[in-house]
Amino acid sequence: MPKDIAATADESARLGEAVNPTPGGRPAARDDILRVEDLRVAYRIGDREVDAVRGVNLSVGRGEVVAIVGESGSGKSTVAQSIMNLLAPNAEVTGGRIEFDGEDLIPLSERRWRSIRGRLIGLVPQDPALSLNPVRRVGVQVAEPLLVHGLATKHDAHDRAVELLEMAGLTYPAERAKQYPHQFSGGMKQRALIAGALAAQPSLIIADEPTSALDVTVQKQILDHLANLTQELGTAILLITHDLGMAAERADRVVVMKQGEIVDSGPAAQVMTAPTHEYTRKLIAAAPRLSA
């Protein structure tokens, strides 16, 4: 369950002591679905190689919500793309290990990756306007993971897509499933993407700035639905965001990145009330709802 950001510093310290976190912020006894160890990623720009991620260590427990927070260019989205094997052509993992449910992801073939994406690891991308195919009905797109992975017949996949759209908070889901993305508002599109990410009931969902294009009211509705659905299914979430307030409210643990490195991590209440790095303190001071 998300930690109360109003927890006292004493309570935060007690929580941190109780779980005995490792240097990467991971409770020692937690059953991890994802482990990232000493991850290093570089981009090739002309004749130069630029290190974008340097020695990142983090983990996500089963059913846990972990938020990676940082400003643009901090490397948080690069970490997410590395986990999904969706890095840009000019980027590559130069070191480290990414382990999902005991399997090392880095050396996998593209064929094996096609069996993992959508089925075991779901993705809620950043921009819903660019992520939905404008010439395909929404229901077809939500049902696609079920068909690709052979989890349902075409008829059953359609019925399941309607159920998923309803679960994601869309009214008249049967009618919505027949519509095209241009007939949806931004919030509706984001709900459709969440429905698609949950279709195959993956063990982990990576949500990369899932509400950055939405207004505050719709943001809350979307995040509430995502939290409720993942709790029902026992799905873990890796939330990528620049919004420290959102991370504090929604995550069990928070990882703070700056210039490709982790500078702070731990239980959300602990990071908010007793940050160990000056950068984290600046982020908290710059967020009115936290500094208050």
pLDDT digits (tens, 9 = 90+) for 46-66: 899 999 999 999 999 999 999
Check residues 139 and 126 and name the one with the higher pLDDT.
139
**Per-residue pLDDT, 161:** 96
Is the pLDDT assigned to residue 229 strictly greater than 80? no
Helix 186-198 vs helix 216-233: angle between axes, to the nearest 10 degrees?
10
**Per-residue pLDDT, 8:** 37
Task: At 273, give phi and psi (nearest 5°).
Answer: -100, -20
Per-domain residue ranges of the chain: 9-120+203-291, 134-201
**Per-residue pLDDT, 288:** 62
Confidence of residue 289 (pLDDT cuts 50, 70, 90): low
Q: What is the mean pLDDT of residues 149-172?
A: 93
CA end-to-end span of the chain, whole Å?
23
**Per-residue pLDDT, 168:** 84
Confidence of residue 213 (pLDDT cuts 50, 70, 90): low
Is the pLDDT assigned to residue 22 strictly greater than 50? no
Q: What is the mean pLDDT of residues 38-51?
A: 94
Is the pLDDT assigned to residue 67 strictly greater than 70? yes
Task: At 267, give phi and psi (nearest 5°).
Answer: -55, 145
**Per-residue pLDDT, 139:** 96
Domain 9-120+203-291 adopts which CATH fold? Rossmann fold (3.40.50)
Is the pLDDT assigned to residue 23 strictly greater than 60? no
What is d(CA 238, CA 253) in angstroms, rounded to the nearest whole number?
Answer: 10
Confidence of residue 4 (pLDDT cuts 50, 70, 90): very low
Is the pLDDT assigned to residue 11 strictly greater than 60? no
Is the pLDDT assigned to residue 112 strictly greater than 50? yes
Average pLDDT, the chain: 86
* Three-state DSSP string of 62-91: CCCEEEEECCCCCCHHHHHHHHHCCCCCCE
Task: At 154, give phi and psi (nearest 5°).
Answer: -60, -40
Token reading at 23: 């240097």
Check residues 3 and 285 and name the one with the higher pLDDT.
285
Angle at 39 between CA 35 and CA 43, to 5 degrees: 140
CB of 255 within 8 A of CB of 57? Answer: no
Per-residue pLDDT reduced to its tens digit, 261-279: 999 999 999 998 899 999 9
Confidence of residue 236 (pLDDT cuts 50, 70, 90): very high
CA dihedral 126, 87, 55, 283 (to 10 degrees): -20
What is d(CA 141, CA 130) in angstroms, rounded to the nearest whole number?
Answer: 13
